[in-house]
Amino acid sequence: MPCQCEASNPTWKRPMRTVPKCVFIDLGAADGNSFNAFLNDKYGAVANCPSGGLWEAVLVEANPRFQAPLGQTAARFPKAVEAFPSTAAYMCQGQTSFYLDTVTTAQNYWGSSMSSNHPDVVHSGKKKVTVNTVNLNRLLVEHTIPSDYVLVKMDIEGAEFDIVPCLAKSPAAALMDALWMEQHDVSWGLAGNSLEDMNQAKMALKSRGVYMPDYFSETLLSRRTQVIHAQKELEQK
C-alpha cells in the first residue's frame, strides 16, 4: 500500500466557479472508451446536465500505454477534459508500483492493476512500472461544487477496496451523486479491507444519497459480447 487514507485536507482548493454542470470522473479511463460512453448518454442524457447540458470530465489512467489517446482526448476538449495519464486512482497522493497486463489485447489490457496477484498480471510476468497516485477525495473537492451532478466511474481492478472505505469517511463523499463501480476480487486490494468493510462503506454512501447501480465497464461488456458470439459460433458448428 503506497500511502494511508487521506479523507480531507485543508490545503485542497475548491473551484471558484458558480455555474453548475455534470462532472464525469473516470477512474480507470483506459483509452477513453468510458468517456465516449458518457458522451453517448450511456450514463444518462448529457443534455439533462445542469445549465443547459454543461459538463466536464476528469480522466485517470495508470497504464502508460494509454497516455497518447488520453492526451488526444484532452486536446479535443481543452476546456472540458483534464487527463491524468500514468496515474493511478487511489485514496491518497503518492507513488505506487503498477503491474501491466500485456496479454489481454482483445480486451484493451483490462487486467492491469496495483495488485501483483491479479491473474492477468501474473500471466504477464508481473511487469511493473512506477506511477503517481491521485486521491479521489481531492479530485472531488477540487473539481466539483455542491450544485454539480457528479458521476464517478470506477474500474480499477481491486483498488476500489482501498478507495471506497476511505471515501465513505470523507466529507468529499457529499459532493458525489452517483458511483458506477465495477467490484473485483477482494484479494486484489492492498489495504487489507474485507468484503464486509466494502459493504459497510457502500451502505454509508447510499445512506448519503449516492446512487450505486450494478455496473460492468464498457470493456467488460465488450468481452461478454465476444464470449456470447463465440458460444453461438460453437453451437452452430
Does pLDDT of 6 surpass 50?
yes
Read off the C-alpha cell for 205: 454512501
Is 13 contained in some domain?
Answer: no
- Nearest in space to 131 (alpha carbons), one of 29, 81, 61: 61
Other C-beta atoms closer than 10 Å to the C-beta of 151 total 22
Range of 60-64, 104-108, 223-227 with top mean pLDDT: 60-64
pLDDT band of residue 18 (cuts 50, 70, 90) is very high
Is 16 contained in some domain?
Answer: no
Domain count, the chain: 1
What is the structure's pLDDT at 214? Answer: 85
Is 4 contained in some domain?
Answer: no
Does pLDDT of 95 surpass 50?
yes
Sheet with 128-135: strands ordered across: 87-90, 128-135, 94-99
What is the structure's pLDDT at 220? Answer: 45
Does pLDDT of 109 surpass 80?
no
- Nearest in space to 7 (alpha carbons), one of 204, 161, 190, 169: 169
Is 226 contained in some domain?
Answer: yes
- Nearest in space to 24 (alpha carbons), one of 5, 37, 8, 13: 37
How far is the C-alpha of 158 from the C-alpha of 83, rounded, in Å?
A: 21
Does pLDDT of 219 surpass 70?
no
Let me know how many helices (H) and strands (E) the chain has, helices first: 8, 8
Between the CA of residue 201 and those of 47, 172, 189, 204, 234, what are the distances in Å? 31, 14, 15, 5, 42
Element (H, E) at 105: none
Residue of 143 and 104 predicted with greater confidence: 143
pLDDT digits (tens, 9 = 90+) for 176-217: 999 999 999 999 999 999 999 999 999 999 999 999 998 766
Q: What integer is the mean pLDDT of 33-43? A: 95
pLDDT band of residue 223 (cuts 50, 70, 90) is very low
For residue 155, give its domain range.
22-236
Read off the C-alpha cell for 113: 492493476
Please calculate the CA angle 28-58-205 and round it to the nearest 5 degrees: 70
How far is the C-alpha of 169 from the C-alpha of 225, rounded, in Å?
A: 37
- Percent helix / strand / coil, the chain, rounded to 5: 40, 20, 40
Is 115 contained in some domain?
Answer: yes
Cβ contact 172:5 at 8 Å? no
What is the structure's pLDDT at 236? Answer: 43
What is the structure's pLDDT at 226? Answer: 37
Is 5 contained in some domain?
Answer: no
Q: What integer is the mean pLDDT of 132-146? A: 98
**Which amino acid is present at 27?**
L
What is the structure's pLDDT at 231? Answer: 40
Mean pLDDT (the chain) is 91
What is the structure's pLDDT at 106? Answer: 65
Cβ contact 142:14 at 8 Å? yes
